A and B are shown apart, each in its own frame.
Chain A
Amino acid sequence: MDMELYKLTIHEASDLLHRGEISSRELTKSVLERIEATESKLHSFISIHPEAALKQADKADWLRENPNSKELHVLTGIPFALKDNICTRGIRTTCASRLMEQFNPSIDGAVVKKLKNAHAVLIGKLNMDEFAIGSSGESSIFPHTRNPWAADRVPGGSSGGSAASVAADQVLFSLGSDTGGSIRQPASFCGITGMKPSFGAVSGYGLIPFATSLDQLGPMCKDVTDCAIVMNVITGFDPMDRMSAKISHPDYTSYLKQDVSGMRIGLLRGWMEGTISGDVRMAIEKAAKLYQDMGAWIEEITLPHMEYAVSAYLLISSAEASHNLTAGKGMRMGYKEGEICELDELAVGSGLQSLGASVKKRILLGNTGLCNDNYEIYYKEALKLRTLIKEDFDRVFEKCDLILTPTNPDTAFLFGEMEINVIEMYKYDAYTVPVNLAGLPAVSIPCGFDSKGLPIGMQLIGRLYGEGALLQASYAFEQNTDHHIKSPVLITSTD
């Protein structure tokens, strides 16, 4: 079949595979050729595994030729890639860090097992900020991923490679992890659909943690339908993850209907004034209007403690990161500096030396917030704010089904732009971090382009385990707009 197969969505490719019009080998080869042609410009991947991928594709094709096979799934034979903080048995998993550069896991993460059981085809591991700490991809030790829409701009982070690879049609879908916006922000910067599920909805077994009480794995896709398909596979209770939620998950594709009549959508408007770009504000107002035209109720809401969310998030995530990164990891992994004689020297000369500057800073910040009197003044205060922020959401969800906000106050920034003032970069996460603090599900979907031609993302936030309503409202919006269909012309510059 002569067409650009790599451009397909999961549901399109799956239909063609099902009807026998294409094979998974053809699809996988098309994707590998696309990567070959684009990767030197994009640097989405940390490792690519063509031979293993083709083998999996052949297995998928064999299964499809056996109509009685019980193992067939919508994802059978579909090429995908994983953020490189998800453990893959026998495949190097680096977290984009010198510390983990040679780490070869002996286990598959729970999500990897599920995707393997569905016979999806793993193409490779994706670039990211070191240990998922960052919002631009610039802290990776590997060549930095570029934004497919503009090579001089960041893809976002920390799941920058996951977003860029999907936006540039290098894979049909990817998985990312989201601690404070790390799925949604890069999805918005690269013009794709990214979903952060409710806390506990997806097992984090085999995910190398950043901040355990905030981390959540989720799908990054070309459209909402694909998101629902991947959600069906990766969600579910897992006794191996003590943060996993004991709930039954619905068939998420059953929510893909164009009906939002009577749905009550809270619009966070007051908070937008002065802090976000004109283009982004206009796109969100337009989205609200479209929802209204489709029969939804738009209600203005406030979240009074949102102004403290970034501070609370910084303290909590850094404290948890400092624990996760220093608790033994530096002893077991990475290179050791020089000769070590004393125990104290062993600590200081441990693998932690190989961490990059931004991770070191976050460890120091975490420990500063926890140290002596600071525990009461900063860390505990942050935990109390977390309670108040969660209660803000509870109040809104008494009268609303969903909340609409921009994903970020502006579109993708330039490489190096945020180096001077790191606070500005943290503020980019102002709309996404409250969601993690409250454990809620949220999605970022394309809702327009700014004057530079860069994609704008809008965020919908749902009730705890309310992914169904989120997908329904996202799908209805997507079916009435064409932002998600537009593809980037690789290697252009906005300046």
Chain B
Amino acid sequence: MKITAEYVESMARLSCIRLTEEEKTAFAMELDMIMNYLDNLKNADTRGVEPTSFVEINKITLPDKGT
């Protein structure tokens, strides 16, 4: 996706951050570069993979449910 200064402005408003015009342009350029880099995720085969939000830390000692 292409990140423009307008997009940054709308995202900043959503994030409760006010930006100067210079910041909008500079952040748009950098975010665009980062989003381009993040597009490498699209090459990964994630079909049927469950997402992980947290590593299950208590798994080792807590008994399975039902015990």
Q: Which residue from B13, B33, B62 sits with its C-beta under 8 Å from A246?
A: B62
For B57, list chain A residues within 8 Å (CB). Answer: 198-200, 243-245, 439
A372-386 residues at the B interface, CB under 8 angstroms: 374, 377-378, 380-386
- Contact: B16 with A385, CB < 8 Å? no
Partner pick for B55 among A349, A353, A367, A438, CB 8 A cutoff: A438
Q: Shortest CB–CB separation between residue A279 and chain B, in angstroms?
A: 26
Contact B49 A245 (CB under 8 A): no
Beyond the given pairs A314-B34, A384-B51, 10 more chain A to chain B contacts, judged by CB atoms under 8 angstroms and listed by A's residue number, are A200-B55, A245-B60, A311-B40, A315-B38, A330-B16, A361-B30, A367-B14, A374-B1, A381-B42, A388-B46
Which chain B residue lies CB-closest to A213? B54
B67 CB to closest chain A CB, in angstroms? 15
C-alpha gap A350/B18 in the complex (Å)? 9
Partner of A199, one of B17, B23, B55: B55
Per CB-CB distance, the 4 closest pairs between chain A and chain B, nearest first, are: A439-B55, A383-B51, A200-B57, A384-B46
A352 CB-CB contact with B under 8 Å: yes
Interface size range on B against A? 35 or more
Closest Cβ neighbor of A389 among chain B residues? B52
B51 touches A361 (CB 8 A): no
B residues 23-62 near A (Cβ < 8 Å) are: 23, 27, 30-31, 33-35, 37-38, 40-42, 44, 46, 49-55, 57-58, 60-62
Asked if A491 is at the interface of the complex by the 8 Å CB criterion, the answer is no
CA A374 to CA B2, docked complex, whole Å: 12
A218 to chain B, nearest CB (A): 16
Docked pose: A185 CA to B16 CA in angstroms? 32
A413 CB–B CB distance under 8 Å: no
Report whether A347 and B60 are in contact in the complex, using a CB–CB cutoff of 8 Å.
Answer: no
Which chain B residue lies CB-closest to A364? B11
Q: 1/0 per position for A334-358, CB-CB distance to B under 8 A?
A: 0001000000000111101101010
Some 14 contacts from A to B, beta carbons below 8 A apart, are A243-B57, A308-B40, A311-B38, A352-B16, A357-B23, A360-B17, A363-B15, A364-B12, A364-B17, A368-B35, A371-B14, A384-B44, A388-B44, A388-B49
